[in-house]
Amino acid sequence: METKIFKLEQIQAAADLIKAGELVAFPTETVYGLGADATNEQAVKKVYAAKGRPSDNPLIVHIASLDTVEKYAAFISPDARKLMQQFWPGSLTMIFKLKPGAFSMTVTGGLATAAFRFPDNQATLKLIKTANCPLVGPSANTSGKPSPTTAQHVYHDLNGKIAGILDDGPTRVGVESTVLDMSTDEPVILRPGAVTKTQIESIIGSIETNHHHVGKDETPKAPGMKYKHYAPKAQVYIVDRETDWNAAYQWATTRTTRVGVMAEAHVLQDLKSADNVTKYSLGEGIAAASAKLFAGLRQFDDQPTIKAILVQAFPTNGLGNAYMNRLNKSAGEKHFKLS
């Protein structure tokens, strides 16, 4: 299959492929998603096949109007409507109980709920409206690998496996949306993202965060809760704030294999060059670092001689909570420590 790159003026052609049951990757403000008609079970099955994604890992349904949620959700609480008004379009995904037969079990992972998101990207909203159907949209990458933040990342992973990619340049946020479960008596954050717990609580009051690790026989209610995610082939090590970067860098320079280093620009400036070390700047601040995290991991994943990657940690507040959630999963919770 030839994977076509569509420009913004070619959205009609991309939408025609969606209508025909094909897969088209699309941009959002967070990462690129792999789009298929959420009402076409055979098209949705192609998503799992293209990504190599486990079939019990549910998909997020991307919409372009609130009417779509009304069509499929069994109940939308007043609190959920307040959050929609405040954060949609945007980086907040909400899980609702479904009307009977709303979507196939392929979309929901066998659950009676589905996650909905109204992305903040005009190209994708136009794509959804032109295709006239909601789109499933897991990250458009090989399952388990760092998420794609450019059309080129998608092409790298899925060229020949999908029909097309709608290119709208690099994404702004760089980490996936916050997932909030509104299908339970008390709202619970299942995955942190750019919309923070504090922001949500300012609208609807106190909520919980789920720290439960989903077991092998359980079906997760949201992506990222069960399976390995965001991991390059090289081992990632988190360099904590209290760790001496000079010591970590000295360790890197004494390795017999190549090492990647990802940190803020001012940190990298203080580290001398070394023949076996490749640096990648995360810019300055948590917003820049979140936008660049997956791109940096992907860059090093394309260099087979890189056997270890040191990545700067950030405080776990605000967007830093989402950044560290992804980094911890990428590293398998491994932190750099001098033995």
280 annotated to a ligand binding site: no
With vertex at residue 20, the alpha carbon angle to CA 16 and CA 21, rounded to the nearest 5 degrees, is: 125
Closest CA to 29 of 147, 149, 190: 149
180 alpha carbon, distance to own chain's centre = 15
β-partners of residue 238 are 311, 335
How far apart (Å, rounded) are the C-alpha atoms in residues 256 and 265? 25
* Helix axes of 319-331 and 286-301: crossing angle, nearest 10 degrees: 20
278 annotated to a ligand binding site: no
β-partners of residue 236 are 309
Tokens of 226: 């069960």
266 annotated to a ligand binding site: no
The verdict on whether omega for the bond into residue 232 sits within 30 degrees of 0, i.e. cis, is no
Tokens of 201: 């609580």
β-partners of residue 36 are 136
156 annotated to a ligand binding site: no
How far apart (Å, rounded) are the C-alpha atoms in residues 184 and 179? 13
81 annotated to a ligand binding site: no
Task: Give the total residue count for the chain.
Answer: 339
Alpha helix segments (H runs only) across 88-121: 105-108
How far apart (Å, rounded) are the C-alpha atoms in residues 255 and 252? 6
β-partners of residue 245 are none
Residue type, 153: H
159 annotated to a ligand binding site: no
298 annotated to a ligand binding site: no
With vertex at residue 95, the alpha carbon angle to CA 90 and CA 100, rounded to the nearest 5 degrees, is: 130
Phi and psi at residue 204, in whole multiples of 5°?
-125, 5
53 annotated to a ligand binding site: yes
Tokens of 279: 């640096």
177 annotated to a ligand binding site: yes
How far apart (Å, rounded) are the C-alpha atoms in residues 54 and 39? 19
Q: Where is the binding site for ATP, in residues?
A: 53, 57, 113, 139, 147, 191, 230
Q: Where is the binding site for L-threonine, in residues?
A: 30, 62, 117, 177
Q: Where is the binding site, in residues?
A: 30, 53, 57, 62, 113, 117, 139, 147, 177, 191, 230
